[in-house]
Every structure is written in C-alpha cells, then in structure tokens.
C-alpha cells in the first residue's frame, strides 16, 4: 500500500464572527472531505511538544515522527536545505523575513504585503552590498521568506516570529540574549535590523510599491536561529522506499530533504490562495503512479489566510483543498492498481481572530480501503474529537498511518 499525506497548513481554527460563529472547516462546502470522513476514521493530534513554540517547523517534525527537542535546530537551517545552501560548522542560519513597519515603528505585517520574489531579490542584493562585512549573507527565497547566514554566532537568543506580533512596537520585540555569551550575537543582529531599515526606507522598489498603494518592505526580521541539524531519514525510521515532498514553502521542502524525501517543484505554486492546486495534485498523482510509496503534499494557503485574519478567504482555501486537490486525487487513486491510504490534517491551528499559531490539537482523517468507519460524518474540529483515534500525541500519528 502507498501513502499520501495532504496537509492544509494552519487549516484548523476557532469560531469566526465573519462566518456566523463557525470555523472555516465548518462553514466550507466540503463534499469530498465529508465523504472521506464518513468512510474513514478521525481523531485529534497534538503536534506541539510541551514548552515549544507552535511553529510549522515544530509541528511538521512532530507529525512526521521525529523527537522534536532532539533534532530541531531552527527553521533557517531547514530552509537552507531546500535552497541547496550548506551550513558550515561555524555558521548559524535564521529565517529572514522582509516585513512592513508602520511609520510609528509598529509591525504592520510579517510579509511586506506579500512582496514578489523579484522585488525582494532587488532589496536583498542591495542589503548584501551596502552592509557587507564578511560575516553575514542574506539569500533570496520566495516572496517575503528568505535566509540569513551568520558566522561565529551563538544560537542562545530569543527571536520573535513577526507573524506572532502584528501591531507590536518593533523595538519592544527585538532579539534578546538568553545567556551573557550570546549578547554579542543579539547586538549584531539587532544592528543589522536597524541598518536595513535605513537602506530600505528610500529604496526604489519601496518607493514604487508605495506609489502603487502596496506595503513597503522596510525592514528585515531574522528569527528561528540554529545550526545544521542531524536527522535520520524516514526510510531508516519507517521503512519507506522512496518519498516525495511537494510544497511551495522552503521550510517544508527542507524538512523533506533532511527526512530523505525528494522535493518536487511545481511551477505556479505560490503558497497563497492563488497557488497552482492542479499542478500540485498532478505532481502527487504522478509520484504515486511512479516509484514513490510515500508522498507529502503541503498546501500553505489556509495558513496565510489565517495570518491575514481573513476568515472568508480561509473558508475558500478549504473549499479549494476539497474540490481542486482531494477530488482529483481520489479520482486518480480509485483508478490505480495499488491501494493508497490518504491522510488529511493541518499542522497547527492559525485562528483568524488571533492571526497567529496556537498549540491546540488539530483534526486528522485517515482514509484507506481496509478501514472500518467510526461514524463521524464531517471533517471539522468538533467532530474529529469524537473520532475513533481520540487524542494522539506527536509521532503516534505517522506510526498509525503507515502501519
């Protein structure tokens, strides 16, 4: 039997006023998910270990079966793997957002208005040139998501993810040292942030964006520091023969690389609601028809809608997942000679009213030919709580799914 996980990033939520007190999963028209729920089994999964931040990197490592406190080395190093960038022993990697600050210094958004990759690349080239000191380099990723490498740095620092603090005064959430030995690193990175603001303020790209009514990318924001991780592959851990990861997001592809999965790049995959759903699901189908026995298909759009606080858009992304991903996937799977098990779940909730992640358990669904249904009729947060699996912890999910 082959296996595919379809992950709607941040898809779980809480009741939304804009949806009449329903969650996006409850409000969305999801005939495919409901059919899978009726013929499958559901449960809740706790993806964030106690005491850890509910980031996508933590949740993904957990649901893929890893001992997160043991293997996690920061988001930046994982994203570097996706970008083909080596992390040397004397280097630290960090995720580096381009963000938008209001004139009073508060954080307007974590994405610089979803700046284009082409515009971001212009800004980053300028920063690398103007601020060059031989110690750091910023690497262009996708849209607002980039990578910062720093030599001779101490990872024992506290960095605030910008999507966690929309509206906060940026000077109040700057990088802080956790130990005296890391104070130089914190001071260096904070100086880099402030220097970037001086350069980006009057950059032609931002002048043009402001004239077009768009948010300027007027600051960098480094976070999630770490060194190069050491992880066993899913082949070693679970006996997978060949695995594939399909995502628009460097973080997810990077986790896949360290897990031994082959990244598949889909043209037009943006990580937003306008992503190429058809291309992504076709890539998954092609992998299943080929020699892959495990596919991880990641859809980012619902998480971005949650961070924007847009419940109506988030509902629409759930419907896109149902109709443009799961429906054609099921149609293709039903015509295959080999049986395929399908799991659907988010990594964490991204409630629209909070615009950030929480560590609450997420609903998951397992659908395969040999399964006995548990009587749950709909894939929602509330109904999944009544499912066969009850509440699972972290790595229990992948072991149940692959058995």
Same domain, 213 and 121: yes
Please, are residues 255 and 232 in contact by the beta-carbon 8 Å criterion?
no
Instruction: For 133-162, give the DSSP string.
Output: -SSEEEEEEETTEEEEEEES----EE---G
Domain that holds residue 181: 91-226
Q: Is residue 131 part of a domain?
A: yes
In a shared domain, residues 342 and 236: yes
- How far is residue 87 CA from its own chain's centroid? 21
By the 8 A CB rule, do 27 and 13 touch?
no
What SS3 string covers 298-353? EECHHHHHHHHCCHHHHHHHHHHHHHHHHHHHHHHHHCCCCCEEEEEECCCECCCC
Side-chain-side CA neighbours of 108 within 13 Å: the count stands at 18
Judge whether 85 lies within some domain. no
Together in a domain, 155 and 210: yes
* Helix, strand, or coil (residue 164): helix
**Measured in whole angstroms, how far is the alpha carbon of residue 317 from the centre of its chain?**
15
Residue 268 region by backbone torsions, left for phi larger than 0, else alpha for psi between -120 and 50, else beta = left
Does a structural domain hold residue 79? Answer: no
Residues 236 and 222 in one domain: no
Residues 250 and 213 in one domain: no
Read off the tokens for 227.
Answer: 């060194």
- Distance from C-alpha of 149 to C-alpha of 136, rounded to nearest angstrom: 6
Give yes or no: residues 141 and 258 share one domain: no
- Sign of the torsion angle spanned by Cα atoms 20, 25, 26, 31: positive
Helices (H) and strands (E) in the chain, counts: 16, 15
Q: CA 94, CA 227: separation in Å to the nearest integer? A: 9
Domain boundary among 201, 226, 251: 226
Cα separation of the two ends of the chain: 10
Task: Compute the distance between CA of residue 253 and CA of residue 26 in angstroms, rounded to an integer.
Answer: 30
* Residue 319 covered by a domain: yes
Residues 6 or more apart whose CB falls under 8 angstroms from that of 335 comprise none
Q: Is 77 within a domain?
A: no
Single residue among 226, 241, 261 that ends a domain in this structure? 226
273: left (phi over 0), alpha (psi -120 to 50) or beta: alpha
Round to whole Å and give the CA distance between 147 and 163. Answer: 16
Q: Which of 175, 205, 226 is the last residue before a domain boundary?
A: 226
Residues 268 and 357 in one domain: yes
User: Could you tell me if 213 and 341 lie in one domain?
Assistant: no
Mean pLDDT per block of 10 residues along the chain (403 residues) reads 98 98 99 98 98 94 96 91 93 98 97 97 99 97 94 97 95 98 99 98 98 98 94 97 96 96 95 96 98 98 96 99 99 96 98 96 96 98 98 96 95
Residue 331 lies in a domain: yes
Backbone angles phi and psi of 351, in degrees to 5: -60, 135
Domain identity same for 176 and 103 = yes
Beta-bridged to residue 145, according to DSSP, are 97, 142
Q: Look up the CATH number of the domain holding residue 243.
A: 3.40.720.10
Q: Do 217 and 343 share a structural domain?
A: no
Tokens matching residue 120 = 């971001």
pLDDT for res 67: 96
> Is the torsion defined by CA of 170, 172, 178, 184 positive or negative?
positive
| Consecutive H or E run containing 296 | strand 294-299
Residue 339: its pLDDT value, please? 97
C-alpha span between 201 and 224 (Å, rounded) = 25
| Angle between helix 311-320 and 301-308 (nearest 10) | 170
Q: Give the separation between CA 293 and CA 373, rounded to whole angstroms.
A: 24
Q: Are residues 203 and 336 in the same domain?
A: no
Number of folded domains in the chain?
Answer: 2
Residues 269 and 195 reside in one and the same domain: no
């Amino acid at each position: 039997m082959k296996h595919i996980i379809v992950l709607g990033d941040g898809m779980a939520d809480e009741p939304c006023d804009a949806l009449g007190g329903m969650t996006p999963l409850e409000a969305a028209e999801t005939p495919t998910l409901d059919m899978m729920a009726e013929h499958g089994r559901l449960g809740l999964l706790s993806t964030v270990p106690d005491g850890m931040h509910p980031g996508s990197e933590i949740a993904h490592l957990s649901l893929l079966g890893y001992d997160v406190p043991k293997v996690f080395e920061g988001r930046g190093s994982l994203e570097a793997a996706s970008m083909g960038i080596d992390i040397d022993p004397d280097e630290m990697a960090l995720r580096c957002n381009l963000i938008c600050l209001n004139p009073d210094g508060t954080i307007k958004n974590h994405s610089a208005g979803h700046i284009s990759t082409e515009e971001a690349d212009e800004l980053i080239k300028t920063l690398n040139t103007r601020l060059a000191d031989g110690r750091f380099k910023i690497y262009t990723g996708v849209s607002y998501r980039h990578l910062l490498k720093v030599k001779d740095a101490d990872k024992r620092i506290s960095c605030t993810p910008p999507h966690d603090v929309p509206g906060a005064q940026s000077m109040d959430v700057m990088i802080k040292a956790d130990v005296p030995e890391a104070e130089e690193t914190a001071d260096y990175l904070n100086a880099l942030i402030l220097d970037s603001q001086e350069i980006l303020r009057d950059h032609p790209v931002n002048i043009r964006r402001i004239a077009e009514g768009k948010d300027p990318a007027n600051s960098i924001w480094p976070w999630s520091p770490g060194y190069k991780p050491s992880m066993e592959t899913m082949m070693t851990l679970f006996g997978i023969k060949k695995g594939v990861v399909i995502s628009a997001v460097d973080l997810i592809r990077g986790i896949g690389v360290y897990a031994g999965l082959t990244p598949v790049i889909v043209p037009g995959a943006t990580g937003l609601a306008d992503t190429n759903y058809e291309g992504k699901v076709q890539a998954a189908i092609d992998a299943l028809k080929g020699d892959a026995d495990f596919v991880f298909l990641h859809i980012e759009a619902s998480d971005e809608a949650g961070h924007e606080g847009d419940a109506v858009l988030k509902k629409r992304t759930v419907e896109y997942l149902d109709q443009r991903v799961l429906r054609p996937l099921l149609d293709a799977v039903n015509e295959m000679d080999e049986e395929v098990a399908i799991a659907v779940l988010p990594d964490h909730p991204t409630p629209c009213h909070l615009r950030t992640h929480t560590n609450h358990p997420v609903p998951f669904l397992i659908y395969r030919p040999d399964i006995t249904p548990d009587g749950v009729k709909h894939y929602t947060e509330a109904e999944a709580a009544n499912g066969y699996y009850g509440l699972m912890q972290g790595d229990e999910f992948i072991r149940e799914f692959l058995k």
